[in-house]
Amino acid sequence: MKSLGFGSSKRAVMGALALVTTASISLAGLGASTAAAATNPLQGKTVTMIIPHGAGGGFDTMARLAAQYIKLYVHVSSVVPENVTGGGGVIGDDQIWNSPRNGLYIGICDPDVMAENFDGNVVGVKYRPAQMSWLIGATSTSNVLVLSKKSPFYPLSHIKKGETIAVGAASSGDDLLDGYLMARALGLTARLVTGWSGGTAQEIPALSTGKPDAFVLDGDSAARAIADGYAVPLMQINLNRHPALLKIPLLLSRTPKSSSFYQAAVATTAVETADKAFCGPPMSPALTAEWRGIFHKVFANKSFIKKLEADDLVPFIRTGAEMQAHEKIAVKDGKDLLKAVTFVDKQVGQ
C-alpha cells in the first residue's frame, strides 16, 4: 500500500510552526527593544559631558573617568567629553544651562561658583543654580583659616576680640570670603589681602614670615602647613571636619544665629561642602531621576572609586537631592552672601 506521506507532512508542518515561533520571538524581542528605547530616551544616543575647565585638572580627570563608567549602566552610544574653558568655570557652567533639556547634555561643575549667581546678579550669566538638575555631589573640600607662628598674634592667647589681622589667600573671591567669615566668627576684623597665585609654593613661605598673619588654605595644604610647624589652625568651613583636623571648630558652630552674616555662613557652608558635582540643565523629573540613578551606580563601583583615589580625588558623596537643597539654601540666603562678597571685593580693591 502506498504511503500517504503523513510523516513528511507532519515534519513540514512542525518546521513551519518552528519558523513562525522563531519569528514571533524575534518580533517580541524587537518590540521589547523598541519599548525599552521608548521608555529610556538615552538608549543608543550620544551624551555630551561638558567640562568647564581645561584638560588635565581634577574636574577633567573625574568627568572623563565618569564618562567611561556611565556606559556600564545605560546603553548610550557614547559619552563625549567637551572642555569649555573661561571665566573660572562660569562659561562652561552657562553652556550646561543653555544645553537642550533632553537628557543628552550633562556636565561637571563647581557648586560654589554657581551659587554666586543666585538670582541673576552676575552680568552675562544666565544659569540659575537652584533650577539646575543636580545629579550627585562628588568631592568635598574644607577651607581652613590658619595662623602663622611668626605672626605677632601667635600664640592664640595673644588675639583679642576686635583685633585686625591680615588674612591672605591664593585667590580672591571665595577663599577671601571664607577668611572674612571665619575671622568674624572669631570676633576679629579681617584685613583681606591677595596676590598669591602659586598655591602652597608661595603660601608656605609666606606663613614662615608671618606676613600676612593668617591664610585660607584647603584642608590638605593646611594639614601640611600645621604638620611642618609653620601654622596653627583656627577654624574650617564644611559640614564635616577634615580628617586631619577633627578637633578644629566649624564656621557654623562658632557663628551666632544673631550675627548679621549668619545666613551667609549657612549659604557658603552649604556650597563649600561639595566642590565638584555633576549636574545638567533643568530636566524633567523622570530624566533627572534616571541620571541620578546612573551616577549612584557609577559612584558605587569600587573600580571607579579606586581610580579616583589613585588620582588624589577622594569622593565625598552627596545625593542629587541634597545638592539641590544646598543650592536652594544658597539662593535663599543669597542677599547675605552677596553682601559679604561685596565687602570682600571692596577690601581687595576690585
Grid look-up 581634577 returns 58
What would the pLDDT profile of 172-201 be if each residue is shown by its tens digit? 566 777 888 898 888 888 888 876 654 556
For residues 261 and 147, state if they share a domain.
yes
| Total domains present in the chain | 2
Q: Nearest-CA neighbor of 95 among 126, 117, 120?
A: 126
- Is 9 domain-assigned? no
Q: In terms of domains, do 177 and 231 share one?
A: yes
In this prediction, residue 18 carries a pLDDT of 40
Q: Which 8-state DSSP code applies to residue 250? A: B
Provide the grid cell at 155.
Answer: 600664640
Same domain, 209 and 318: no
For 136-218, where are the alpha helices, taking DSSP H only? Answer: 174-185, 200-207
Find the mean pLDDT for residues 55-84: 94
Same domain for 110 and 256?
A: no
**Can you tell me the mean pLDDT for 265-274?**
73
Pair 148, 257 in one domain:
yes
Residue 78 has pLDDT above 60, yes or no: yes
CATH number of 124's domain = 3.40.190.150
CA 234/CA 240 separation, integer angstroms: 15
Give the residue with greater pLDDT, 252 vs 314.
252
Are 226 and 191 members of one domain?
yes
Mean pLDDT, rounded, for 71-78: 94
Beta-bridged to residue 262, according to DSSP, are: none
Confirm whether 313 is domain-assigned.
Answer: yes
Burial string for 26-42 (b: 16+ CB within 10 Å, else e) reads eeeeeeeeeeeeeebeb
In tens, the pLDDT along 121-150 reads 555 678 777 788 999 988 877 789 999 999
pLDDT tens digit string along 35-45?
444 567 899 99
Residue 30 scores a pLDDT above 70 = no
Give the pLDDT confidence score for residue 1 in this predicted structure: 38
Among the ranges given (38-47, 75-84, 198-207, 296-305), the one the predictor scored with the smallest mean pLDDT: 198-207
Looking at the domain assignment, is residue 3 inside a domain? no
Q: What share of the chain is helix, strand, coil (3-state, %, to 5)?
A: 45, 20, 35
Q: Which of the four pLDDT bands, split at 50, 70 and 90, describes residue 100? A: very high
Lowest mean pLDDT among 26-40, 162-176, 199-213: 26-40
Q: Which is higher by pLDDT, 220 or 29?
A: 220
120 within domain boundaries: yes
Q: 178, 331, 172, 155: which is closest to 252 by C-alpha?
A: 178
Average pLDDT score, the chain: 77
Say whether both 223 and 151 belong to one domain: yes
Helices (H) and strands (E) in the chain, counts: 13, 11
Residue 350 lies inside a defined structural domain of this protein: no
Residue with cell 577654624: 235
Together in a domain, 131 and 71: yes
Let me know whether 160 and 265 are in one domain. Answer: yes
Query: What value does the mean pLDDT take over residues 96-115?
Result: 87
189 and 202 co-located in one domain: yes
Residue 255: give the domain boundaries: 143-270
Residues 135 and 279 grouped into a single domain: yes
Q: Write phi, then psi, for 317 (nearest 5 degrees).
A: -85, 130
The answer for residues whose C-beta is within 8 angstroms of residue 63's C-beta and 6 or more apart is 49, 51, 81, 107, 108, 278
CATH code for the domain in which residue 242 is found: 3.40.190.10
Q: Last residue of some domain: 231, 253, 270? A: 270
Residues 172, 258, single domain; the answer is yes
End position of a domain, from candidates 270, 299, 319? 270
pLDDT at 46: 97
Using a pLDDT cut of 70, give the percent of the chain over it.
72
The answer to whether the beta carbons of residues 143 and 108 sit under 8 Å apart is: no
- The pTM of this model reads 0.67
